[in-house]
């Protein structure tokens, strides 16, 4: 049971938002578990927004980039918007070099800005910063 708890990324509820803070290097199994856990929590908590804090990630690969994009798509289908916050410059460079497009994923520099972005009424596209690489 202990290893099961250690192999999960915590998902915290903040009102109608969910905050996921990824503080460990992601591997494929952990990424898939996070995706499953997060979609279940969106439904269970009736969340309308998801913040994914990746400030602790130094590197990403194409699988993790696709997982973030797919998770955002699943959240959108479940009526929740996704904002990725805290992206390190090296991660942004890697995503560009890999040619990845994170469709439907908004970005913000930090959690506070991400919360403000999610609280914009009517999915305000003018204020959203979409990452399209």
Express each pLDDT in 21-77 by its tens digit. Answer: 988 777 778 888 888 999 999 999 999 999 999 998 888 888 888 888 888 889 999
CA dihedral angle for residue 78, residue 87, residue 117, residue 133, rounded to 10 degrees: -70
104: CB partners within 8 A, 6+ apart:
69, 72, 73, 76, 82, 130
Q: Is the pLDDT of residue 124 over 50?
A: no
Task: List the strands of the sheet with 11-14, edge to edge.
Answer: 11-14, 17-21, 49-53, 81-85, 101-108, 129-132
User: Domain range holding 91?
Assistant: 2-132
Q: How many residues does the chain have?
A: 133
- pLDDT tens digits, one per residue of 91-111: 889 888 888 877 778 999 999
* Count of H-run helices and E-run strands, the chain: 5, 6
We report the CATH number of the domain holding residue 72 as 3.30.750.24
Q: Record the pTM.
A: 0.81
pLDDT band at 131 (very low <50, low <70, confident <90, very high): very low
Instruction: Give the count of domains, the chain.
Output: 1
* Dihedral sign (CA 106, 24, 89, 19): positive
pLDDT band at 121 (very low <50, low <70, confident <90, very high): low
Greater confidence (32 vs 1) lies with 32
- pLDDT tens digits, one per residue of 106-118: 999 999 999 999 9
Q: Which of 79, 91, 77, 88 is nearest to 118 (CA)?
A: 79
């Amino acid at each position: 049971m202990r290893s099961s708890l250690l192999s999960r990324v915590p998902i915290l509820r903040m009102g109608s938002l969910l905050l996921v803070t990824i503080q460990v290097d992601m591997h494929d199994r952990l990424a898939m578990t996070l995706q499953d856990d997060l979609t279940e929590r969106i439904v269970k908590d009736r969340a309308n927004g998801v913040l994914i804090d990746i400030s602790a990630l130094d590197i990403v690969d194409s699988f993790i980039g696709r997982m973030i994009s797919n998770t955002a798509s699943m959240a959108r289908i479940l009526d929740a918007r996704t904002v990725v916050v805290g992206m390190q410059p090296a991660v942004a460079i890697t995503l560009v070099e890999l040619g990845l497009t994170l469709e439907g994923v908004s970005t913000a520099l930090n959690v506070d800005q991400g919360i403000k972005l999610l609280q914009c009424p009517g999915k305000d596209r003018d204020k959203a910063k979409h990452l399209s690489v």
